[in-house]
Amino acid sequence: MINPILAPKQTVSRHVVDDGPVSLVIMYIGSQVSATVTVASGDITFKHGAAAAEAVDATIDSGGDDDGVIDVSDTTADTLGEVVDLINGSANWKAYIKDGIRADASAGLLARSETTLTPNVTETPLYSDTSTDLELSIRIGSRTKVNGTEENSAAELLRVISTNTFGSGTSLIQVYEVDEIKKTETKIFEAAGNATTIKQDLDLIKDGVGGLAVSRTGMHLVVRMKGSAACTGKITAIGQVARGA
């Protein structure tokens, strides 16, 4: 297999603002005709059954005391990694982390009213609540679906444009290389962000021949604007993805 980053590349660009990062993407794959997902106070409730008469799905429970609910205050569900593992541990559901890393606190999910999913069709995003989270994050990779994979792909970050309003303290631009299969994440780049409300345009190309943040085969990148206080603002990441043979 060739190194996919040397193969023909596809340019990708994503822009997120407050409450724009997608923490998780969820799909119902069970045998019932309908399913729903609700987020309230960060907790996630899963139901399935007849349309308009769905009942809690007992195959998901983070603490053993509340069927169908992942309570993000439970020690078994206080990170995104633990939450996605609980979801994927059920035969009825699948999920993956999009704009985030496994170590991120799960308590920062944006409230979502009960949302109906068509089995094996609907992919429901759960967003990050940036009033509580300390970062705005963007995934750069080839996977775009719950059932997707990045086994033969790699990602390269070219440019980050950001504006952070954080009042006082610090602001950073960070890049993580993430291996979903091995469940590992490694920070591979960090730079100071600009002062509060001041736009920053960070070029990650070195000597015109390559980026300072490139993932290995089978991995993706997560670029984030991180503050010492909750971030409000915007971030744009421009990169490339490529697939090997």
Q: How far apart are the first and last CA of the chain?
A: 6
Closest CA to 94 of 102, 106, 86: 86
Report residue 218's pLDDT band, with 50, 70 and 90 as the boundaries.
Answer: very high
Architecture of domain 4-20+132-243: Sandwich (2.60)
* Domains of the chain, residue spans: 4-20+132-243, 22-127
**Helix and strand element counts for the chain (H, E):** 1, 19
According to DSSP, the residues that pair with 35 across neighbouring strands are: 48, 117
pTM for the model: 0.93
- pLDDT 10s digits, 53-75: 999 999 999 987 889 999 999 99
The mean pLDDT value of the chain amounts to 92
Which one has a higher pLDDT value, 208 or 42? 42
Q: What is the mean pLDDT of residues 122-141?
A: 93
Structure confidence by residue, pLDDT tens digits, 74-98: 999 999 999 999 999 999 999 999 9
Cβ within 8 Å of residue 104, ≥6 positions away: 23, 79, 80, 133
The pLDDT of residue 245 is above 60: no
Summarize the confidence of residues 94-105 as an average pLDDT: 97
- Per the model's pLDDT, the better-predicted residue between 81 and 165 turns out to be 81
Residue 1 reports pLDDT greater than 50: no
Least confident range of 48-57, 111-120, 126-135, 218-227: 126-135
Tokens of 111: 């409230």
The whole-number average pLDDT for the span 134-139 is 93
- Is 90 exceeded by the pLDDT of residue 208? no
